[in-house]
Amino acid sequence: MLMSPGSIVAADGRLLDGSVSNLETDEALLTGESLPVAKNADISETGDMPIGDRLCMVYAGSQVTKGRARCVVVGTAMNTELGKIAEAIERKVETKEKGWRAKWHKVMVGLGLRETTPLQIK
């Protein structure tokens, strides 16, 4: 995938070495950061690294504000970081309680502590 200023990133991708030219992306949709993030092709990430710290990756829905680059697509649709957020919003935790526990469950639902999405709980 080729990216240039003003383009919206269509899928999650890993930047290719030698193709990054002063790239900055606006990832406010995913991370809430107000400033664009400078990207590079150096792989220096671990498995539990937050999205905002992965400088060798670009994410679906973010906008290129500066520079040019090429990347290899690593995730599309619901397999992107944006798709994971959408899934967390839609998924609800359900219960199969009976008796007194079912009544207590209804009280907890009324308080907004049960049958909410994992994102609402966080």
Into how many domains does the chain fold? 2
5-24 tens-digit pLDDT: 888 888 888 888 877 788 88
Burial class (CB within 10 angstroms; exposed 0-12, middle 13-18, buried 19+) of 58: buried
In a domain, residue 86? The reply is no
57-92 tens-digit pLDDT: 888 888 888 888 888 888 888 878 888 877 776 665
- Please report which residue ranges of 1-122 form alpha helices under DSSP H: 28-31, 81-90, 100-111, 118-121
Residue 100 is classified by DSSP as H
Residues 109 and 74 in one domain: no
Residues 11 and 40 in one domain: yes
52-63 tens-digit pLDDT: 778 888 888 888
Residues 116 and 57 in one domain: no
- Name the residue range of residue 107's domain: 91-121
Residue 102 has pLDDT above 60, yes or no: yes
Cα gap 5→42, rounded to integer Å:
21
Give the residue from 86, 87, 92 showing the smallest Cα distance to 61. Answer: 86
Here the CATH number for the domain that contains residue 61 is: 2.70.150.10
